[in-house]
């Protein structure tokens, strides 16, 4: 159980900060569960500023859950171009098709029923229940988890990490009755803009007095050169995710609608490609096929050219 004084102080200070600093984001202007779902899927591992134009473009093309469900998967992947993590587009359409075919286009309202939808996890279910149906539910994304950990446990490093169940219990107790929408939006915003992973603004933090991590983070920041961040990005270029993205980008091109022979694909996506790389390429393409991002078919025009890779129909 939290001490009432600390809980009340954190609630009051965080909500006051949110009221003064909240961004006017398009998904905060709707209670449509479909639009909330689209925004939450896009925001997974993608920054807000990048998401906004894609969010508008996606909804212009697929304005309803019915429109997304009925669209060719290749068209969905094409509209997703530029957002990365293309598997999200396929999973989003899977959810839409289930809602249309099994629930007559109506989203369930309870968290357990939302989790039962394909492609929906505990966080997304909680976000839809709260942000679309304004239910006082607790859920955790990376930003929310980091804020709660720092406030109540301490610095968020692996060897000191709290259990997920402990953080969910804290999150549940903190939700102000009748104000879950504003509270959860505030917690996300605070983690994204104030208590960030790499350079938290502790000196001007309104929760400083109640933060268990404040002394340790300040000490760590004081020893770093100016501009250094607490965490560094891992390498992306040259990773399998990088090459998966390059394959999907190639297949999106209109001139590739008939597909690309796999024999020609390797040199198009990887410099210095050689025959020794063929097993790697086949594994990469088969992984895309398993994830619903590509189809592999025999090349009817030329057997010697081997299979053809294309976007799913």
List residues with catalytic annotation: 40
Q: How far apart are CA 309 and CA 282, in angstroms?
A: 10
CB of 156 closer than 8 Å to CB of 146: yes
CB of 39 closer than 8 Å to CB of 83: no
Listed in order, strand segments (DSSP E) in 94-231 are none
Q: Is the dihedral of CA 170, 175, 176, 182 positive or negative?
A: positive
Q: Supply the DSSP symbol for 83.
A: S
CB of 251 closer than 8 Å to CB of 310: yes
Q: Is the dihedral of CA 13, 165, 143, 90 positive or negative?
A: negative
Q: How far apart are CA 98 and CA 220, in angstroms?
A: 48
The C-alpha angle 248, 25, 41, rounded to 5 degrees, equals 35
The number of residues in the chain equals 313
238: left (phi over 0), alpha (psi -120 to 50) or beta: left
DSSP 3-state of 105: coil
Residue 310, beta-bridge partner list? 295
Q: How far apart are CA 229 and CA 244, in angstroms?
A: 29
Q: What counts of helices (H) and strands (E) characterise the chain?
A: 15, 3
Give CA separation, 41 vs 87, 88, 128, 202, in Å: 10, 7, 11, 30
Q: How far apart are CA 156 and CA 150, in angstroms?
A: 6
């Amino acid at each position: 159980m939290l001490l009432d004084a600390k809980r009340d102080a954190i609630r009051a200070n965080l909500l006051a900060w949110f009221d003064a600093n909240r961004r006017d984001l398009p998904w905060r202007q709707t209670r449509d569960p479909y639009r909330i779902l689209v925004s939450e899927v896009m925001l997974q591992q993608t920054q807000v500023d990048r998401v906004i134009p894609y969010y508008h473009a996606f909804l212009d093309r697929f304005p309803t859950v019915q429109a997304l469900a009925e669209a060719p998967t290749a068209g969905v992947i094409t509209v997703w171009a530029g957002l990365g993590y293309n598997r999200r587009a396929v999973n989003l359409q899977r959810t839409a098709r289930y809602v249309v075919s099994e629930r007559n286009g109506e989203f369930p309202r309870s968290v357990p029923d939302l989790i039962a939808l394909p492609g929906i996890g505990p966080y997304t279910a909680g976000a839809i229940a709260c942000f679309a149906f304004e239910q006082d539910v607790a859920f955790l994304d990376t930003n929310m988890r980091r804020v709660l950990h720092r406030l109540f446990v301490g610095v968020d490093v692996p060897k000191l990490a709290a259990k997920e169940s402990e953080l969910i219990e804290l999150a549940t107790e903190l939700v102000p009755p009748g104000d879950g929408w504003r509270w959860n939006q505030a917690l996300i915003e605070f983690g994204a803009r104030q208590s960030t992973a790499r350079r938290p603004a502790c000196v001007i933090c309104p929760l400083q007095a109640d933060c268990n991590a404040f002394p340790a983070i300040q000490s760590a920041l004081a020893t770093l050169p100016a501009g250094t961040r607490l965490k560094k990005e891992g390498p992306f270029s040259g990773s399998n995710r990088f090459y998966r993205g390059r394959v999907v980008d190639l297949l999106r091109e209109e001139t590739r609608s008939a597909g690309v022979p796999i024999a020609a694909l390797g040199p198009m996506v990887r410099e210095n490609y050689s025959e020794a790389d063929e097993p790697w390429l086949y594994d990469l393409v088969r992984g895309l096929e398993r994830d619903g991002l590509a189809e592999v078919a025999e090349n009817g025009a030329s057997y010697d050219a081997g299979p053809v890779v294309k976007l799913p129909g």
